[in-house]
Structure 1
Amino acid sequence: MLGPFASGVVASMLPELGSTFDVSQNTAANSLTAYLLPFALAMLVSGTLGERWGPMRTIRVAYAGFVVVALLAAIAPWFWLFQVSRGLQGVANAFTTPLLLTKLAAITPKERLGRTLGLYGAVQSIGQTSAPLVGGLAAESSWRWAFVGIAVVAGVLTASALPPDEVAPEQPPRLRDAWQPVVLWSGVVIFVAWACLAGLPFLVAFRVDDAFALGPGARGLVLTAFGLAGFVSARLVGAAADRFGPRVAVCLGLLLGAVTVGAIGVAGSLPLVALAWAVGGVCGQLVLVGINALVLGGGDGTGRGGAISVVTALRFLGMSASPAAFTPLYRTDPALGFLVPGALLVASTPLLAHRIFRSGTGPRARLRHSRG
């Protein structure tokens, strides 16, 4: 929960940040990118490095680092120092997310992996959904209290009991070990999914403002539907991935997500737009749980930290690319701004199905391996 919460906590305090540091709200909004970009870039290598150093040891050190840099944000007298602290928070988060996922995969029976990853996704949805609310409440008094709270939570996590590290392999994982075909093609799919689905809250906000003249509070309520639906459906989505296979879950999420995204662009009813965005949250969970299960559930566990690290990095790089890719399309034609992402979601579906079978991680490949 800590990572997505710390990432989004500034979203509702941008006016207060601008006032404190005497910068514009547009400049203050860069504090979102200041977290996400270092987070995504560090994630390209953090999983492999964490496996080398010991996953649980690395996670504990990262939590301790989170305490320090969150407190730095709380006391920063200058905006540049606040931005540095945000970047370091992202780097600290990069050394927890993939290693936690790897540990979950290691201790979970394969037949229950989807449900476990669904629970993980549900808790992340809580962090993502609650961050703007808690940040806004803190800003009523002082936005700095939000970062004090983050530091306290990170301190509790640092002191908490963690499962012990397993015996290190004789051959330490190498950075290039993570760049396998199944990892790269899974990463491409989730890059597209997060750019064209989970990365569209800004576009949905534009849409409900332009079409229905909603105020900021009502817009925020509509946007919350994505995270709430993802939270409510996460365990059910995980169970479906266990029963029908992660590849089916991902394909369903992509195809249904394409329909919901397109509907937002053409619907003339506010309840229909809100419902479509909520269904999009379920689709996001289907893609996320399915991709994570595909990457974490294959092989003997060697190099899983590096693999899931690369995939997660591409996921957030896709999200960060979404505004630049689709805002010009939306300004040209609002419907086009949603129909193009929907088409890209559809186009990525056969790519996934083809490459998973070719990469030897699909059900038939596993069957051939067991017979061998």
Structure 2
Amino acid sequence: MRLQRVRVGAVYGGALLGPLGGGVVAPMLPEIGRSVHVSPEAAAASLTAYFIPFALLQLVSGTLGERWGRRRTVRAAYLVYAVGAVVCAAAPSFAVFLAARAVLGTANAFTSPLLLAGLGDIVARDRLGRAVGVYSSCQSAGQSFAPLVGGLVVASSWRLGFVVVAVAAGLLAFAPPPGEPRPAASAPPWRPLVSRRMASLSAAAFLSYTGASALPFMVALYAREELDAGADLTGLALLGFGVAGLVLGAVWGRVTERFGARACGAVAAVVTGVFVAVAGVSGSVGELALWWTLAGAGASMLTVALQSLTLRAVPRNRGGALSAVSAFRFGGGALAPLIWLPIYHVSAAAAFVASAASLLIVLPVLLSLGKPG
């Protein structure tokens, strides 16, 4: 029982580390730029360098990790992550820093889906929904507090932040999730990943991220340009989305266990869409913060529902299913500015309504899955 708790705790720690390591650079960009002799705008490429390999490799990383063995794949990925973080901390040039950030994104592609897949072997089936909810809360915590952590460590040295990340990854390498290599006939199959059910889940994940979770840039623009808010108030308005996910993830896990992940996901898509649309007509920063926080609560439930459905979609290749769907999810995040900014520059309210409408498409997509999750 004690070993099981350690393993579950390590999975939750890994869920937090990935988004923390990815987003911690956001408040450090001016200091990073000065250290490696580039502008803050150029330093922002370090975010792209992390997330492009992270998203693309997840198309295959889960299945490869299942074949190589979850345990040794995740352990190796953590060690690579730790080395990449050390190189970031010591980087003498921007080119080296960018390369090390790409290494971090690559390593994270081989941890995130396999950690969640490992929960299926550690946690009893009747408690799996709430475990997925806690996992989602930890991811939200990483996303929400990465800028805060980065801002705190930059007061002494931005390089210290990567030392902390390296130490955390090194410690987590001692507690990888269970899962031995599966060669030859026992190898997890690729074919079930190309199915109508997986296509529906991938589409729902793409739309959920494009229509809500990837919108902080648009919410920030609205706060600054339409409501004349300062950077500090804008940051506070954005914080509620992630905090809602952090607080409610475990609750949504229990709710999906009781009512079914498919039904909960459908309801969450509609509710989130309503609050995203309303956020685009906010008359004050406080009102915007309220609607955006409520949208975060709905988006958190949608994420938990989709992760629960995906975890059960391909029993013989859970890691492959989770990583493939996650690739589409983060792909939606990468494309969101390209999709919504042209509409926003014509009408801010129209951009929020269009984002909400994309979430409503999730409803028939989930209903097409048939048997509830």
Q: TM-score, with normalisation over the residues of structure 2?
A: 0.92
Equivalent residue number for residue 16 of structure 1: 31
Per-residue deviation, 1:339 = 0.8
1:250 partner amino acid:
G
Equivalent residue number for residue 33 of structure 1: 48
Equivalent residue number for residue 97 of structure 1: 112
Matched, 1:270 2:280: no
Equivalent residue number for residue 232 of structure 2: 217
Equivalent residue number for residue 7 of structure 1: 22
1:6 partner amino acid:
G
Equivalent residue number for residue 134 of structure 1: 149
Matched position secondary structure for 1:140:
coil
Per-residue deviation, 1:167 = 7.1
For residues 52 and 298 of structure 2, what CA distance do their matches in structure 1 show?
A: 24
Equivalent residue number for residue 367 of structure 2: 353
Q: Is the CA contact 1:121–1:285 (under 8 Å) kept in the aligned structure 2?
A: yes
Equivalent residue number for residue 261 of structure 1: 276
For residues 68 and 182 of structure 1, what CA distance do their matches in structure 2 show?
A: 38
Q: Is the CA contact 2:74–2:177 (under 8 Å) kept in the aligned structure 1?
A: no
Matched position secondary structure for 1:268:
coil
1:206 partner amino acid:
L
Q: Percent identity?
A: 42
**Which one of the candidate residues 58, 71, 76 is aligned to 1:56?**
71
Per-residue deviation, 1:33 = 1.2
Q: 5 Å matches for 1:148-167?
A: 148-158=163-173, 160-166=174-180
1:345 partner amino acid:
L
Name which of structure 1's ranges 16-25 and 60-69 shifts more when overlaid on structure 2: 16-25
Equivalent residue number for residue 369 of structure 1: none
Per-residue deviation, 1:290 = 0.6
Matched position secondary structure for 1:267:
coil
> Structure 1 residues 150, 163: CA separation in 2 closer, same or farther (over 3 Å shift)?
closer
RMSD over aligned CA atoms reads 1.5
Matched, 1:320 2:355: no
Per-residue deviation, 1:26 = 2.0
2:338 partner amino acid:
A
Q: Deviations over 1:113-138 (max 9, x none)?
A: 21110000111111111110111111
Per-residue deviation, 1:22 = 2.5
**Structure 2 stretches of 5 or more lacking a match?**
1-15
For residues 332 and 167 of structure 1, what CA distance do their matches in structure 2 show?
A: 53
> Structure 1 residues 51, 167: CA separation in 2 closer, same or farther (over 3 Å shift)?
closer
2:167 partner amino acid:
V
**Which one of the candidate residues 332, 341, 363 is aligned to 2:346?**
332
> Structure 1 residues 206, 137: CA separation in 2 closer, same or farther (over 3 Å shift)?
same
Q: 5 Å matches for 1:188-203?
A: 188-203=203-218
Per-residue deviation, 1:8 = 0.6
For residues 320 and 78 of structure 1, what CA distance do their matches in structure 2 show?
A: 26
Q: Is the CA contact 2:70–2:181 (under 8 Å) kept in the aligned structure 1?
A: no
Per-residue deviation, 1:145 = 0.8
Q: Is the CA contact 2:62–2:321 (under 8 Å) kept in the aligned structure 1?
A: yes
Equivalent residue number for residue 370 of structure 1: none
For residues 276 and 106 of structure 1, what CA distance do their matches in structure 2 show?
A: 38
Per-residue deviation, 1:222 = 1.2
Per-residue deviation, 1:347 = 2.3
1:114 partner amino acid:
G
**Which one of the candidate residues 299, 305, 309 is aligned to 1:290?**
305
Q: Deviations over 1:274-301 (max 9, x none)?
A: 01111111112111111111111245x2
2:351 partner amino acid:
G
Per-residue deviation, 1:166 = 4.6
Name which of structure 1's ranges 212-221 and 286-295 shifts more when overlaid on structure 2: 212-221
Q: Deviations over 1:87-145 (max 9, x none)?
A: 11011001011111111022323332211100001111111111101111111222111
Q: Is the CA contact 1:177–1:306 (under 8 Å) kept in the aligned structure 2?
A: no
**Which one of the candidate residues 171, 186, 193 is aligned to 1:178?**
193
Q: Deviations over 1:171-193 (max 9, x none)?
A: 31243442222112101111011
Q: Is the CA contact 2:240–2:293 (under 8 Å) kept in the aligned structure 1?
A: yes
Q: Is the CA contact 2:74–2:176 (under 8 Å) kept in the aligned structure 1?
A: no
For residues 123 and 224 of structure 1, what CA distance do their matches in structure 2 show?
A: 15
Q: Is the CA contact 1:64–1:154 (under 8 Å) kept in the aligned structure 2?
A: yes
For residues 71 and 243 of structure 1, what CA distance do their matches in structure 2 show?
A: 44
> Structure 1 residues 23, 261: CA separation in 2 closer, same or farther (over 3 Å shift)?
same
Matched position secondary structure for 2:186:
coil
Q: Deviations over 1:293-346 (max 9, x none)?
A: 1111245x2011111110011111111111111112111111112111111111
1:278 partner amino acid:
T
**Structure 1 stretches of 5 or more lacking a match?**
367-372
Q: Is the CA contact 1:119–1:234 (under 8 Å) kept in the aligned structure 2?
A: yes
For residues 209 and 327 of structure 2, what CA distance do their matches in structure 1 show?
A: 11
Kindly tell me the number of residue pairs found equivalent between the two proteins: 357
Name which of structure 1's ranges 26-35 and 104-113 shifts more when overlaid on structure 2: 104-113
